[in-house]
Structure 1
């Protein structure tokens, strides 16, 4: 929590103003009982009305000043807390954007969403109260004790018993609540995970008639969270009654012993009234502290989770200025100048964290501009993993991946990815219009460029048939277009970028054979100067490629043209024979 509070640095002037205002308000509140005591003892008892009006008017002035300080302090503390929340959310979001896929896998999407929203809101709420109560409450308590002692030192001995009792109760209940608040946040993650899976997978759930099963999962997660919340509320619910019992018994003791002291002539009625008010201020300041102890444990648990995200460093980062290489001076390892878009795998091996077997082993090949390099193999053979190493979604364990002759680890991620047009295996569209989704690849693209990209990607016909055409809205997740349409729009998004390297990660799988053939034919004219790498399951998609790489169990087991591999490679021959008839093979 303290570590996170360092983010208040931009608001130091506002925080200082809140502290000063809270101090002035506290001083005013502490001064009022003394003025009331003077009115009783000097004005009412002696019948001096002018004194009563004089001191009463001064009391109104002090009370009004305190109220004004309170309003301004509340406004500033809310503004500081809101600014802190905004900055922290931005900081977490920007930090998470730099995570590798490994960090995403480790934390989980549902947990990251909860940490960025609910956890930061918890800390923000407590910060608002802290700026007011954590300063005002101790000030009121210490000041109240000092003023009560000044009114009657012997009667103040009651606080020697009362205050340790209240502090002990607050500490005990706070320590009991902290582990439960941590558990609540973890169980909230679980609930969000179940809910997110339910909403994103609703079609699959309904198609398999698993609504009852999903309802049970949600009910279990919801019940688990509710039980923990009830348990923690039971613990915290005992705090307020305990505080009130101690406070009421304290009032009885003050009235009893105060009456005796008045009867003995050691204390005046006004002083007892002031003493009672100071006692109330002390008690209520402890109640405010107890309220903080209800909220601080949960905020502390949230702060720990936020710091866990902020402290997690990506597995790899951009090279320093001294390590940085640019493609302008890059040469191939044999000394030749490298072509734009030249991709090279040099004895690459890669393993996923915690995996027993490597996903890729000893991969070496090169892909040149103007050529189409296709990668084919069985499910789980490592095709998509190989492609994900080029934009540096993961880093290799051994060897090197080079683009334009430069190791991708020696380029900034922005420079590297600016050269690449990536079309993922699972097409992703964003909420907004079709225009906006295509422009995602190039913000300043003209309408003519958008139309051209749509025609090449075979998207123009179905987009034109929509009511709003290119201004038609795409629903969340692209749920209002088919899988094939999503793939074609994703390809249009990459085409408009005009990258040096195209990476098609099984991006034609949802297309029918006719559209697939038309799209690949149109792409030839667009990718003459670019390097094209295609991962595919269909033989018909890869058979016209300049080079086909066959992968099996993470290793290259064949490389060549379609005809060469048919004649010489058993694995490729099995794949072809499983998809094509004898006539088509011939």
Structure 2
């Protein structure tokens, strides 16, 4: 927790850009949530009664909404990229300066390959997480809350049906986090090991050749490379199960909406446009 607090300290100079980025993201989400409602109007008030004039007017509104969403999205992404790149540069600079102040004991304990990974790969991951947080992570809760609100105003009975899916998705994400965390830590350790062996061999290539140790060093590198590959495959196999499972849950929700919503539409309690809007909010 203290490490996270120290890292977040370097975000302070960019708090204004972060706030504007989140504001743009909120506006993008709000505009996107209005589009399914316009589709509902086209179906219920335009296509069904044959009012093509209204269809044309609503289409113009939808085009304006799409363009507005695009502009807000561009603003969000531009600010997110600037913040993440500047944030990563500051951390990289601070980490490098810290290595210059290490004692001889620390330098003996920390391997060169490990330091290289911290200054390059790890900083790159922090940059990516920062950018994705500003572009996508904040969007998810905003979209979920907004979509649920729009669902409740469209059809409370269908909304209650789909709220039952949230515990399943939450349980799925929690299980993935628990299973993947030790694997990601193992990948990090194996990557450190691989980079250390690589750095040692490149720096001491003349010594390796002089003592005819090339075969031994090749074997060391192959073992480290294989260990990293095997662990990375395990992580990716686990991640590969996440998205299809979530899609299956969402598709199950869509089937429930069509089946239950269709029965309500037959009884005259729900319109065709409301069902289509509901499915769009689910997606």
- Structures share fold, TM-score greater than 0.5: yes
Partner of 1:110: 113
Alignment of 1:523-538 (within 5 A): none
Unaligned runs of 5+ in 1: 281-586
Residue of structure 2 aligned with 1:197, choices 195, 200, 206: 200
Alignment of 1:36-435 (within 5 A): 36-280=39-283
TM-score relative to the length of structure 1:
0.47
Contact 2:112 2:199 in 1 (8 A): no
Partner of 1:9: 12
In the TM superposition, residue 197 of structure 1 has moved relative to its aligned partner by 1.1
TM-score relative to the length of structure 2:
0.96
Which protein is richer in strand relative to its size?
1
In structure 2, what is the Cα distance between the partners aligned to 1:158 and 1:219?
53
In the TM superposition, residue 161 of structure 1 has moved relative to its aligned partner by 2.0
Residue of structure 1 aligned with 2:21, choices 15, 18, 38: 18
In the TM superposition, residue 208 of structure 1 has moved relative to its aligned partner by 2.0
Which protein is richer in helix relative to its size?
2
Unaligned runs of 5+ in 2: none
Q: Summarize the Cα distance change of 1:2–1:52 in structure 2 as closer, same or farther, 3 Å threshold.
A: farther
Alpha-carbon RMSD across the aligned residues, in angstroms, is 1.1
**3-state SS of 2:268 partner:** coil
In structure 2, what is the Cα distance between the partners aligned to 1:105 and 1:212?
26
**3-state SS of 2:138 partner:** helix
In structure 2, what is the Cα distance between the partners aligned to 1:102 and 1:208?
29
Report which of the two structures shows the higher radius of gyration computed on alpha carbons.
1
In structure 1, what is the Cα distance between the partners aligned to 2:201 and 2:115?
18
In structure 2, what is the Cα distance between the partners aligned to 1:127 and 1:67?
21
Alignment of 1:454-469 (within 5 A): none
**3-state SS of 1:267 partner:** coil
Contact 2:46 2:55 in 1 (8 A): yes
**3-state SS of 1:154 partner:** helix
Contact 2:27 2:69 in 1 (8 A): yes
